[in-house]
Amino acid sequence: MNLKLTEEQEMLKSMAKDFLTAKYPKTVIKEIQAGEKGYSLGLWKEMAGLGWQGLVIPEKFGGNGMSFQDLSILLEEMGRFCVPGPFFATVLLGAYPVMDAGTEEQKQEYLTKIAAGKAVCTIALNEMDGQYTPGSIETKAIADKDDYIITGTKMFVPSANVADYILCVARTSDKPDGISVFVVDAASAGLTSTVLKTIDSEKLCEVSFKNVRVPKRNILGSLNGGWQLIEKTIERAAIAKCCDTAGGMQQVLEMTVQYAKDRKQFDQPIGKFQIIQHYCSNMAIDVDGLKFVTNQAAWLKSEGLPCAKEASIAKAWASEASDRVLALAHQIHGAIGVTIDHDLQYYTKRIKAAAATFGDAEFHREIVAQQMGL
Amino acid sequence: MDFRFTVEQEKFRKEVADFLKDEISKGLWKPSCDAWIQGQDPAFTKRIAERGWIGLSWPKELGGGGRSAVDRMIMTEEMLRYGAPAACHWFADRQIGNAIIHYGNEEQKKEWLPMIMRGEAYVGLGLSEPDAASDLASIKTKATETVDGYIIDGQKVWTSCAKYMNYIYLIVRTDPLVPKHKGCSEFFFSTKLPGVTLTPTIDITGGEAWCETFLDQVKVPKTSLIGEKNKGFYQVVNQLDYERAGLERLMGNYVLYDAIIQFTKETKRNGQPLCKEPSIRGKLAQLQIELEVGRLLTYRVALVIDEKRAPNLEASMAKVYSTAYEQHLATLAMEILGLYGSLMEDSKYAAIHGLAPASFLGSKGYSLQAGTSEILRNIIAQRGLGLPA
């Protein structure tokens, strides 16, 4: 058992920290969030130059061939800096499904573009009910000669407004599990994205498919065999979200402890008051707990070992521990933490939004219950 | 990073588990909660000693097993999982051995460590007093130096091992004239010495795991002083880390955790097992989640110990977390049992051997003994996060 990073991983982490410190101060994030796209094309290209979009993509497609655990380190740093934009969607919801289920032609087409920073990808999974079950999928894909025609409304699709490719999860048979995944060109006729106004300014979209024509060869994996791919994608994305949240929570803890040392009231730093100290201790325990269960799930996933239970343990914990940490952070920061100009609000909004994605605590508790044989 | 254990470690875990399961099947003892502190069984301790499992992580040069803190944690995890009655040797193995190794002289190491490793020393911990518990430095039990030793006089409360105790570790005042924490010393001696009286303390569960120790002009030889006179307070700090470092804080009631899960699988309500009810599934899953978080926080302490660092911060974090978990476990078990949660072990119709109400009551002490959660949060904040003292 060993909780340390390798030398290469430490380097990746510190390089990421340097880049993000320089390029993603909160002033830049504020600008990006206020803009239409939700990301900076210039910075997106710089990331590609660092090999980030292609970090886990095999070298033969222009990627770095690194592991999911390596990616988890990068994701944690991005969470620490609240980096907005389509990186998460492109890699977790675009590249990975193609790597899992794509044909050689599909991998060549999409992974090469993703690694080069030339394609933004996402997945249109949720429907109106906002759940993560096959029974929720009502968007239909009907066969028409060499094509399929997709009709339906998808919700909460990250960065659909700027995506080049949208993986659409659609029903291709009446059987409950009759789901297929289609790689859809976002410029297709009949496809419209409407950006929703979200708590953390992430560009989640309503995506309407009105008779969108997709060639048969764009099915990812097998016809009617899509839900297995989606389950795997959700599990991996849930772990990845935990990494983002863990990075954010670590930053929140550090900000809060520093504030407690700096802020004076009643002639002393408020960090001298016992209750403030105990609040900080509680936060530290929650943050470390999250880091460990997240790292465990990410490591197991990276090693190709079964991790359904551990992934759900991490995500359930992330959803609830983060709530406690944010509540205490706000109490300790006092009024300044409730202004739009203070940095804390970036974390509050991002971490809270993350809690419901890829299964909330209740969803993951049920998976744990099943894994326990209940 | 690596979240698995080595092949050797897994083999060792299986060896311990198989041994314990075999003893249970032979009816030598029954799995119980808090068996590490309430389960005194000298014969069991002897059998563990014969396998070399006491002093497992002590240096080989001193006769120990020379194994890692992680290995010891693996062994204790299985002991706790099966509710084994390890209380006679637990404290000696967990912390007193280390106190002797760090601060004892050669004769003391040669005499006391083998005795502990033979399973012959049932060591009680004499720290708290009626007026000095969290405020350990305010202890009043005194040791007055004489020509050939010390005379110890005073009273200790909550001394573990209770009536089984044959050796006692004490921290006492040896200099009343200097600042409090600069005038304490550590002693180790036989409880059979004249002047030592043990009176059982009956705790809220009705158990007798602790006693009051009255020391009435007890004459101890010079050789019972551990380390330096008046340096005891500084010496004991390290020992307290070991006391707080273990899985017993998280898995003392694992037998209940196992039992309540089994109960929900076997008990039907409205035509289906309880474990199919959504609210019960949620509760049990939550316990599993919380248990896993605690497990990693605690193994982290063993890793720090194996790096030869004092786990002051990490042990404090693990204990605060773990004791809260065990209290939560007891609460949820009581909720699931409803009215049956009020039936004690020897009652007709008692559910799961009355483990739930016993744990519920006993768990009130977990966040208090071996460092209250409040004291530990002070340590985390001040030593760990650098907040001002």
Smallest CA–CA distance, residue B267 to chain A, in Å, is 12
Domains and CATH numbers, chain A: 7-119 (1.10.540.10), 122-225 (2.40.110.10), 228-371 (1.20.140.10)
Give the pLDDT band of residue B163 (cuts 50, 70, 90).
confident
Contact call for A369 and B285, based on CB within 8 A:
yes
Mean of the pLDDT values across residues B345-366?
A: 97
What average pLDDT does the structure give for chain A?
Answer: 98
Please, which residues have CB within 8 angstroms of residue A267's CB and are 6 or more apart in sequence?
Answer: none
Specify the pairing of strand A121-124 against strand A165-171: parallel
Say which CATH class B7-121 falls into: mainly alpha
Residues A241, A75: Cα–Cα separation, whole Å: 8
Mean of the pLDDT values across residues A211-219?
A: 98
Residue A261 touches chain B, beta carbons under 8 Å? yes
CA distances from B239 to A256, B102, B161, B380 (A): 32, 10, 17, 17
Contact call for B3 and A369, based on CB within 8 A:
no
Select from B266, B295, B385 the residue whose CB has the most chain A CBs within 10 Å, as the one to mutate to test that interface.
Answer: B385
What average pLDDT does the structure give for chain B?
Answer: 97
Helix, strand, coil percent values for chain B (each to nearest 5): 55, 15, 30
Give residue A16's pLDDT: 98
Backbone phi, psi, residue B183, to 5°: -120, 30
Contact call for A299 and B374, based on CB within 8 A:
no
Give the pLDDT band of residue B100 (cuts 50, 70, 90).
very high
CATH value of B124-231 in 3.40.710.10, 1.10.620.20, 2.40.110.10, 3.20.20.70: 2.40.110.10
Residues A182, A160: Cα–Cα separation, whole Å: 15
Does residue A195 have a pLDDT over 90?
yes
Contact call for A2 and B303, based on CB within 8 A:
yes
The nearest alpha carbon in chain B to A7 belongs to B1
Give residue B54's pLDDT: 98
For the segment B259-285, what is each residue's pLDDT rounded down to a tens digit? 999 999 999 999 999 999 999 999 999
DSSP A99-119: HHH--HHHHHHHHHHHHTT--
For the segment B215-244, what is each residue's pLDDT rounded down to a tens digit? 999 999 999 999 999 999 999 998 999 999
Give residue B272's pLDDT: 97
Select from B3, B67, B275 the residue whose CB has the most chain A CBs within 10 Å, as the one to mutate to test that interface.
Answer: B3
Max Cα-Cα span within chain A: 79
Give residue A216's pLDDT: 97
Residues A123, A98: Cα–Cα separation, whole Å: 11
Smallest CA–CA distance, residue A247 to chain B, in Å, is 17
- Write out B235-296 in H/E/C secondary structure: HHHHHHHHHHCCCHHHHCCHHHHHHHHHHHHHCEECCEEHHHCHHHHHHHHHHHHHHHHHHH
Angle between helices A361-371 and A308-333 (to 10 degrees): 150
Give residue B79's pLDDT: 98
Q: Could you tell me the two tokens for A37?
A: 């796209």
For the segment A151-189, what is each residue's pLDDT rounded down to a tens digit? 999 999 999 999 999 999 999 999 988 999 999 999 999
The nearest alpha carbon in chain B to A274 belongs to B378
Give chain B's contact residues with A (Cβ, < 8 Å).
1-5, 70, 261, 264-265, 275-276, 281-282, 284-286, 288-289, 292-294, 296-297, 299-300, 303, 317, 320-321, 374, 376-378, 380-382, 384-389
Give residue B278's pLDDT: 97
Question: Which residues in chain B have Cβ-Cβ distances shorter than 8 Å to A278?
Answer: 374, 377-378, 381
Candidate from A43-57, A266-280, B197-211 with smallest mean pLDDT: B197-211
Smallest CA–CA distance, residue A105 to chain B, in Å, is 35
> Architecture of domain B245-384 in CATH?
Up-down Bundle (1.20)
Give the pLDDT band of residue B172 (cuts 50, 70, 90).
very high
Chains A and B form CB pairs within 8 A to the count of 129
For the segment B51-94, what is each residue's pLDDT rounded down to a tens digit? 999 999 999 999 999 999 999 999 999 999 999 999 999 999 99
For chain B, domain boundaries: 7-121, 124-231, 245-384
Q: Could you tell me the two tokens for B308?
A: 């030869």
Amino acid, single-letter form, for residue B296 = L
Cβ-contact A374, A330 below 8 angstroms: no
Q: Provide the terminal-to-terminal Cα distance of chain B, rounded to the nearest Å.
A: 35
Smallest CA–CA distance, residue B178 to chain A, in Å, is 27
Residues A33, A25: Cα–Cα separation, whole Å: 13
Give residue B256's pLDDT: 98
- Write out A31-59 in H/E/C secondary structure: HHHHCCCCCCHHHHHHHHHCCCCCCCCCH
CA distances from A82 to A79, A233, B329 (A): 5, 22, 36
Phi-psi region of A224 (alpha: psi -120 to 50; beta: other; left: phi over 0): left
Residues B360, B80: Cα–Cα separation, whole Å: 18
The nearest alpha carbon in chain A to B261 belongs to A374
Question: Which residues in chain A have Cβ-Cβ distances shorter than 8 Å to B321?
Answer: 285, 289
CA distances from B189 to A290, B70, B129 (A): 44, 30, 18
Cβ-contact A137, A127 below 8 angstroms: yes
Residues A79, A249: Cα–Cα separation, whole Å: 8
For the segment A75-111, what is each residue's pLDDT rounded down to a tens digit? 999 999 999 999 999 999 999 999 999 999 999 999 9
Question: Which residues in chain B have Cβ-Cβ distances shorter than 8 Å to A372?
Answer: 261, 284-285, 288
Contact call for B377 and A282, based on CB within 8 A:
yes
